[in-house]
Amino acid sequence: MPKNPDLKKILLLGSGPIVIGQGCEFDYSGVQACKALAEEGYEVVLLNSNPATIMTDPEFAARTYIEPITVEIIEKIIAAERPDALLPTLGGQTALNAAMDLWHQGILTKYGVKLIGANAEAIDKGEDRQKFKDAMLKIGLDVARSGVVHNLEDAREVARQMGTFPLIIRPAFTLGGQGGGIAYNKEEFETIVARGLDLSPVSEVLVEESLLGWKEFEMEVMRDRADNCVLVCSIENFDPMGVHTGDSITVAPTQTLSDREFQLMRDASFAVIREIGVETGGSNIQFAVNPQNGRMIVIEMNPRVSRSSALASKATGFPIAKIAAKLAVGYTLDELKNDITRETPASFEPSIDYCVVKVPRFTFEKFPQADPVLTTQMKSVGEAMSIGRTFKEALQKALRSLETGRFGLGADGKDQYPKLSDGSWDRETLNQRLSVPNAERIFSIRHALLAGYTVEEIQGLTGIDPWFLRQIEQIVTMEKQIPTQTSDVLFAEIPENERTEEKKTAVLRGAMRKWKKAGFSDRQLGFLFGIPEEMLRAGRLKYGVLPTYRLVDTCAAEFEAYTPYYYSGYGDEDETRGGDKRKVMILGGGPNRIGQGIEFDYCCCHAAFALKEEGFETIMVNSNPETVSTDYDTSDKLYFEPLTLEDVLNIYEREQCWAVIVQFGGQTPLNLAAALQANGVNIIGTQPASIELAEDRKHFAALLEKLDLRQPPNGTAINEDEAVAVAERIGYPVLMRPSFVLGGRSMEIVYAEEDLRRYMRNATSVSTERPILVDRFLEDATEVDVDCLSDGETVVLGAIMEHIEQAGIHSGDSACVIPSFSLSEGVRQTITEATKALARELQVSGLMNVQFAVKDETVYVLEVNPRASRTTPFVSKAIGVPLAKLAAKVMAGRKLKDLGFTREIVPTHFSVKEAVFPFVRFPGVDITLGPEMKSTGEVMGIDADLGLAYAKSQMAAGSPLPQGGNLFISVKDTDKPVAVGLARQYVELGFQLYATSGTHAALAAEGIPVKKLFKLSEGRPHVLDMIKNGEVAFIINTPSGKQPRADEVRIRGAAVTYRIPIMTTLSAAAASVNGIRSLQGKGLSVKPLQEYHAGIGRA
Amino acid sequence: MKSQLVLEDGRVFHGESFGAEGTRIGEVCFNTAMTGYQEVLTDPSYYGQIVAMTYPLIGNYGINEADGESAHPQVKGFVIEELSEFPSSWRSQTSLPEYLATHGIVGIQGIDTRALTRHLRERGAMKSCLTTENLTVEEARRRASEGEGVVGMDYVRVVTTPEPYDWDPDDANSRRWDVTRSAGETDPSASALPPARYQIVAYDYGLKRNILRRLRQHGFKVRVVPAGTTAADVLSLKPDGIFLSPGPGDPSALDYVHRSVRDLLGKKPIFGICLGHQMLSHAFGGRTYKLKFGHHGGNQPVQDLATGRVDITAQNHGFAVDPDSLPPEVEVTHINLNDHTVEGLRHRSLPVFSVQYHPEAAPGPHDALHFFEQFGKLIDDSR
């Protein structure tokens, strides 16, 4: 029976901001769900607080709410929209938790809203540790021995009963295993249990037998209303148990299970989904297997679409989220078609004829104080996936997709070998790098093999299955052989009298193909032969060693596939198809990392949509499995490939593209732009030369001078002494940063020579071409971001965004507001003119972002980026104009005049973008903000009232502004005069103020009622006690300097742990006053984006 | 050592040899299962064929005694993309290349098996010559086209048991295998064998061990008889039911089997699998025809037309039953959702049913296991 006729309107919940453990995979699943439900004629009401998503584009749902995902807000939406059903299984843990809260509070019953996909009982059974364990035992499956506890005392008792360490601690209902860990001794046990109890919304923690060193597997299964079950994809983890699966290298399909073991795991997976009662949709079930005897244990299940299911969809071509949405409305699997083969139904199991490897992307460099050891708590911020005919090929491709400057598994001249001063291997360090899981362990395995370790030794240290280690050994063996395989050596294989040119060519081709099949990049081969990459490439082309592109077809070639989703290999046949349209290649952004996230993927998708409309054939290249851009539905063709010069040129040449777009995918494609152009690639839009010009200090200064624009005094330096000289000339404080980086990588504000010298000593890869930039830092200036669109003739501003935090805090980390709220008309005018002048002078075709600082009515240009910016989607949502789409059309030759976008839109409503941070993942890291970007995602608050828009943004970011209670305030001396005025307002709003001696004295002196608290060193109870007891509702704490006092760091850390809203700048504290005032006065209301946009009344 | 696979239409694939050396001729088919190469190699239904695996990495978990579906490999040749020479599994006892070498099976690796699969998908299954000898392409091609292939071939007489025997009389080899309990040991309570409630005869046209194990696990005591056993001889054993096994070769080339099955119709409850299903069809007066490239793999969706339910099934057949050739008293009960071919039959009045695929799996999913239970019920009902 097909879809359920009782449903008409369906509320779909998104997953909110990108955080560690919840990335853009839920935009992918949400977009698929929106499209699938709309296709079936349902009216979709969507809620998501994340403006950088494709799903929140107004055309993807009938009614789109960019509002906080909280029970309070959802109830308002339900009351206004009266949906028939709520679909909570496609928006990650956020949506599932929200749905459970709504259910517990009786709101769904009250409004007669049906939960579809998974019901509350199933969600509860799948997520509640004890219920899950009982359910597993009931159906005869094995689980790890464990105990569920709600307090420390019970935890100790469970530990005593188990009688052995290590023990695993898993808090209930937290994202990505947050707050969990492995305790090797009693002390660690107590610390981790206490943290887990705190973080778990239900104060529940599971203490479990350690399965360290066991093999880990995941099964992605789907079930329909008629109880048909299919296994979409099996995944085997490279890293054994003990490393969160999100932080593990993972491989699809399983490699080391015999069919007997595999089928038992499949049976178990179906038994789990049935027993838990997930009625329709996808689930992810994790297993551990003892490598000694095969004992199989169920670890956990997610009764929803997950990060792994996005990976599984990309790995197999089976669109799990789309099918899940259709199953939720009543279809059965056999009633749905497999899009890829068209002929066959969705009730089948993909058979894949390649190997898929996913490698996580970490950003520990952003958080130097964080513990880089990988544990059961997820720490990675993104991932790259690759597809190859062999594991070796897929692994090397995945490693060169990571955007960490590597070109495969080493052999690229970038290794820092652990060696002692006498040149011998530092085995102690190596042993440690192998035995303690870390982000670089895969490279250490290679080092160990080079150092002569046996596979057995490495297995003993790492617990990694020898099958994987043998594969790596084969790569290393080949790496060692390659430099000896010169043409003379190869030709010697041919008997002397038969050495014809033809035979020689055949031998060379054979050797080259063998290396390529093992995944060696041109760069690696060049390095091994001691020649430049270009020369290697030229040789490879000369001998006709070209990649062949194969289809991801769900069926191992058994049936013809219609969906052009490709990966490269070096096989016998190429399956690409010609086309008569002009082809434009869009380069994506690669793995998500801090500074380069979903915003750029959003832009790439828009380029694909726009150019399809313009009649081009669009070709997407990307390596990030979480994204919408790597949905085979987004572009005409999808190449799941690394974004390196070699891989991109190969596709460009095979497809005979007309042009390439590099300005949408963030820094990744921009870094390739010059080399692509040098290889004859037609780059459309703003030319690489202009992009370089904007980055080049000297030229840029000259440009500003020509345009009569001001910038903070500055200079460049390539060594310590030069830097000191520049700083002395322009005066401290100075802002230091390298050229060509995104996300403020290694940016720092330096107040004294000593710090400046330290900075220069630590700076890496500095050269004359890429010097360190030194700018005078403007203290307490207002920062302004502008996004504009230019077609070479017309320049139109997207928006002038006024930052809440002062200049000096990375623009990606500060809250900002559209339209500006405090800038004078004169300043706005200056900014507008400056932006237009810059766009014209740089001959911008497409998007451009400019950052300004405004101090005492003077406007300074800080930075110009002639490309799509992180704020492009936010601006587009705020003003109701798809900027990226228009930009793509402009790049392809259209004029803004023809596209109907000729003047800036200044909306009457306020849109606030707020950043979201991963601090809760990195205990011990100070949460203060600076010029280096640290946020992983963003949310948007919209309202007619600025205060409410700001309050919504805080609520959406997970730290809702309190409307009263105890406020702890502690500010640095220079902030005290301003703090007095603010404090007074907080008192007026009804807050009880608390402060320690310094701030207390300053406030008391002005007659502000404030209670005095002990500093941490002065006695108890002190502020931390109050925080832990839940007696503090709000904290204002500005850092005292670059080297903050230990007290402050602990207070800020506690605020994060105990989820108490905290403001670390006075500007944010001031914005909060307005927010709280509005909340108290007006209360919250909701309104869909479509209505805001209709209200704009576009010209 | 260099090796080549030459198809009868002249397409050549070059690779490296593993396992035994020599030249083998046979029809080449592809199998899309991602696990279970050992079961594939030892399945008697593959007798006479050269099998190519679409999954490129083969040999990963080695070879073990328990996973053999018969005493030795049955394929003529084995074609893969990349061999894992060092297996990794607690179950592995030997490596794939050693195993093939021991049993004289010619293997070839380094083949683009996707290209081969696409070729066979478009042109249909065909004969081929797999050789480590230095043959010219023309010579290899000639040998391929002059070779036996499958059409018209009776391979059943090669693989069937020469003498009747009782399967596992001591109940030592039929327990359910499990890893979900107590460290890989079989949990006696979960896998204890039920009492033997039915005495049946199983025709061996190419039996797999797992069929026998599954039958025993469902309460059947099995007497296995050679394919040539007459109906009278079978009936003289007074069985509660008769099982018709899978097997290799061309189903229409087995007149003697068609006859004996026809003579058994209506006498005893009958359950047929794969070739057994085709034998029943012939006994009913129906026909079988050769599929373009067959169904070989573990992901074939089969729908039960009565309930609508879909099982993901293990399949291995190059021929199918023509539904139009069947008499009205025979009902098609199951179809393949990929190509809508016949996957299951039952007689409307006689206690006879059959499936084209493999409820015993090995390798493949267990979804269709319920047919063994159904066979027991059929016997119960006709008692």
H/E run at residue A505 = helix A501-517
At residue A401, the pLDDT reads 98
A257 touching chain B per CB within 8 A: yes
As a whole number of angstroms, the distance between CA A649 and CA B143 comes to 44
Mutate to test the interface with A, among B96, B119, B310, B316 (most CBs of A within 10 A): B310
Put simply, the answer to whether B35 touches A258 (Cβ < 8 Å) is yes
In this structure, the strands spanning B49-53 and B23-31 are parallel
Across the interface, whether the CB atoms of A355 and B57 are under 8 A apart is answered: yes
* Nearest residue, CB atoms, A256 vs list B88, B183, B303: B88
Return the pLDDT at B192: 83
H-helix or E-strand spanning residue A283: strand A281-289
**Cβ contacts of A267 on chain B, cutoff 8 Å:** 366
* pLDDT of A780 strictly over 70: yes
CB-based burial of residue A796 (10 Å sphere; 0-12 exposed, 13-18 middle, 19+ buried)?
buried
Domain stops at, among B90, B119, B146: B146
Nearest chain A residue to B62 by CA distance is A258
Strand pairing report for A782-791 and A795-806: antiparallel
Report the pLDDT value the prediction gives residue A1009, as an integer from 0 to 100. Answer: 96
Residues B330 and B185 in one domain: yes
Cβ neighbours around A891 below 10 Å, total = 24
Say whether pLDDT at A1049 is over 60.
yes
Query: Could you give the percent of chain A with pLDDT greater than 90?
Result: 79
* Token pair 């190469």 in the structure block, residue: B37
Confidence of residue A1096 (pLDDT cuts 50, 70, 90): confident
Give the pLDDT confidence score for residue A1044 in this predicted structure. Answer: 67
The string of DSSP codes covering A46-94 is EE-S-TT-STTSGGGSSEEE-S--SHHHHHHHHHHH--SEEE-TTSHHH
CB distance A140–B180 less than 8 Å? yes
pLDDT of A1057 strictly over 90: no
What CA–CA distance (Å, rounded) separates A251 from A798?
Answer: 43
Mean pLDDT of all residues belonging to chain B: 95
What is the arithmetic mean of pLDDT over A963-988? 94
Q: B233 and B180 share a domain? A: yes
Q: What is the pTM of this model?
A: 0.95
Straight-line distance from the first to the last Cα atom of chain B, in angstroms, rounded to the nearest whole number: 61
Residue A1098: pLDDT above 60?
no
Q: Is residue B198 part of a domain?
A: yes
The tens digit of pLDDT for each residue in B75-105 reads 999 999 999 999 999 999 999 999 999 999 9
Q: Which structure tokens are listed for A820?
A: 């500006």
**Between chains, do B337 and A348 touch, taking CB under 8 Å as contact?**
yes
Q: How many CB atoms lie within 10 A of CB A679?
A: 15
Round to whole Å and give the CA distance between A263 and A294.
13
- Closest Cα in chain B, distance from residue A559 (Å): 7
Question: Which has the closest alpha carbon to B320: B291, B346, B360, B299?
Answer: B291
Residue type at position A268: A
* Shared domain check, B118 and B168: no
* Predicted pLDDT at A748: 84
Q: Is residue B37 part of a domain?
A: yes
**What is the DSSP secondary-structure string of A639-696?**
EE---SHHHHHHHHHHHT-SEEE-SSSTHHHHHHHHHHHHTT--B-SS-HHHHHHHH-
Whether B231 and B294 share a structural domain: yes
Helices (H) and strands (E) in chain A, counts: 38, 38
Closest in B32, B56, B301 to A345, CB measured: B301
Distance to chain A for B152, nearest Cα, Å: 25
Chain B residues in contact with A263 by the CB 8 A cut-off are 361, 363-366
Please check whether residue A167 is in contact with residue A159, taking contact to mean a CB–CB distance below 8 angstroms.
Answer: yes
pLDDT digit string, tens, across residues B133-185: 999 999 999 999 999 989 999 999 999 999 999 999 999 999 998 886 543 34
CA distance B55 to chain A (A): 4
Is the Cβ–Cβ distance between A1041 and A1031 less than 8 Å?
Answer: no
CB contact under 8 A, B338 and A343: yes
pLDDT for B268-300, tens place per residue? Answer: 999 999 999 999 999 999 999 999 999 999 999
The last residue of one of the domains, among B146, B176, B203, is: B146
Q: Is residue B151 part of a domain?
A: no
Assign B55 a pLDDT band (cuts: 50, 70, 90): very high
8 Å CB contact of A268 and B180: yes
Query: E strand or H helix at A125, and its extent?
Result: helix A120-127
How many Å apart are CA B9 and CA B126, to the nearest integer? Answer: 8
Residues of B in contact with A465 (CB under 8 A): 88
- Give the bridge partners for A168, in sequence order: A182, A208
Nearest CA in chain A to B40: A259
Which residues of chain A are within 8 Å of residue B299 when distances are taken between CB atoms?
348-351, 555
What is the chain A residue with the closest CA to B83? A390
Distance, CA of A232 to CA of A484 (rounded, Å): 44
B211 in the same domain as B111: no
Residues B109 and B195 grouped into a single domain: no
Looking at the complex, does the CB of residue A739 fall below 8 Å from at least one CB of chain B?
Answer: no
Is residue B303 domain-resident? yes
Q: Do B299 and A351 touch (CB under 8 A)?
A: yes
CB contacts of A509 in chain B (<8 Å) are: none
Establish if A502 touches chain B: CB-CB under 8 angstroms.
no
pLDDT tens digits for range A549-583: 999 999 999 999 999 999 999 999 999 998 889 99
The pair of structure tokens assigned to A647 is 């891989």
Closest CA to B174 of B221, B130, B206, B133: B221
Are both B273 and B184 inside the same structural domain?
Answer: yes
Same domain, B294 and B221: yes
Minimal C-alpha gap between A193 and chain B (Å): 29
For chain B, say whether A475 makes contact (Cβ under 8 Å): no
Are the C-beta atoms of residues A352 and B117 closer than 8 Å to each other? no
Residues B73 and B219 in one domain: no
Residue linked to tokens 């020898």:
A466
Residues 6+ apart with CB under 8 A from A513: A545, A570
pLDDT band at A891 (very low <50, low <70, confident <90, very high): very high
The mean pLDDT value for B340-369 works out to 97
Tokens 């989607």 label which residue? A873
Q: Are A386 and A397 in contact (CB under 8 A)?
A: yes
Q: What angle do CA A141, A144, A146 make, to 5 degrees?
A: 125
CA A891, CA A848: separation in Å to the nearest integer? 13
Which residues, listed in sequence order, are joined to residue A29 by a DSSP beta bridge?
none
pLDDT tens digit string along A274-324?
Answer: 999 999 999 999 999 999 999 999 999 999 999 999 999 999 999 999 999
Crossing angle of helices A466-481 and A391-401, in 10° steps, is: 80
Nearest to A347 among B56, B190, B310 (CB): B310
Residue B190's closest chain A neighbor by CA?
Answer: A140
* B347-366: average pLDDT: 97
Give, in degrees to the nearest 5, the angle at Cα B185 between B180 and B189.
75
Query: Do residues A383 and A626 make contact, with C-beta atoms less than 8 angstroms apart?
Result: yes
- Report the CATH number at residue B349: 3.40.50.880
Chain A residues inside the 8 Å CB shell of B61: 256-258, 467
Whether residues B55 and A351 touch (CB distance < 8 A) is answered with yes
Interface of A with B in 515-554 (CB under 8 A): 550
**In angstroms, what CA-CA distances link A753 with A359, A697, A733, A772?**
41, 22, 10, 15
For the segment A253-259, the average pLDDT, to the nearest whole number, is: 97
Place of tokens 């434009």: A584
| B186 — pLDDT class (breaks 50, 70, 90) | very low
* Min Cα separation A581/chain B (Å): 27
pLDDT of residue A742: 63
| Residue that finishes a domain, picked among B86, B118, B146 | B146
* pLDDT tier at B191, thresholds 50, 70, 90: low
Identity of the residue in B60, B87, B114 whose CB atom sits nearest the CB atom of A557: B114
Any domain includes B327:
yes
Contact A818, A879 (CB under 8 A): yes
- Across the A:B interface, residue pairs with CB atoms under 8 Å apart total 197
B197 and B310 part of one domain: yes
What was the ipTM of the complex prediction?
0.97
**Is pLDDT above 60 for A1099?**
no
Q: Which domain holds residue B336?
A: 156-382
Per CB-CB distance under 8 Å, the chain B contacts of A259 are 33, 35-36, 38-39, 67, 362-364
For residue A386, give the DSSP letter.
E
B-facing residues of A in 366-405 (CB < 8 A) are 389-391
Q: What average pLDDT does this structure show over B194-201? A: 96
d(CA A1029, CA A1048): 18
A349 and B182 within 8 Å at the Cβ level: the answer is no
Chain B CB within 8 Å of residue A472 CB: no
Reduce the secondary structure of A1053-1089 to three states and give it as a string: HHHHHCCCCEECCHHHHHHHHHHHHHHHHHCCCCCCH
Per DSSP, the residues of A822-879 read S--HHHHHHHHHHHHHHHHHTT-EEEEEEEEEEETTEEEEEEEE-S--TTHHHHHHHH
pLDDT at A1043: 63
- Which is nearest to B37 in space by CA: A213, A674, A255? A255
Average pLDDT, chain A: 93
DSSP A945: S
Does the beta-carbon distance from A558 to B121 stay under 8 Å? yes
Domain membership of residue B283 (yes or no) is: yes
- The answer on pLDDT for A222 being more than 80 is yes
Same domain, B219 and B93: no
Q: Which of A926, A929, A798, A807 is nearest to A869 (CA)?
A: A798
Task: With CB atoms and an 8 Å threshold, state whether A254 touches B13.
Answer: no
Select from A559, A547, A739 the least CA-distant residue to A639. A547
- Do residues A552 and A316 touch, judged by C-beta distance below 8 A? yes
Confidence of residue A1097 (pLDDT cuts 50, 70, 90): low
Looking at residues A521-525, what average pLDDT do you find?
Answer: 98
Q: What integer pLDDT is reported at residue A591 of this predicted model?
A: 97
Which residue among B81, B82, B89 places its CB closest to the CB of A258?
B89
**Residue of A136, A259, A548 for testing the chain B interface, max B β-carbons within 10 Å:** A259
B325 found inside a domain: yes
Exposure string for A928-945, b = 16+ CB within 10 A, e = fewer = bbbbbbbbbbbbbbbbeb
Residue B54 shares a structural domain with residue B138:
yes
Residue in chain B nearest A557 by alpha carbon: B118
Q: Tell me which residues of B are annotated as active site.
A: 274, 358, 360
pLDDT, tens digit, for every residue of A787-798?
A: 999 999 999 999
Q: How many domains does chain B have?
A: 2
The CATH number of residue B137's host domain is: 3.50.30.20
Tokens of B336: 């393949």
Proportion of chain A above pLDDT 70, given as a percent: 98
Residue A686 in contact with partner chain B when CB distance is under 8 A: no
CB contact at 8 A, A179 and A199:
yes
Residue B161: inside a domain, yes or no? Answer: yes
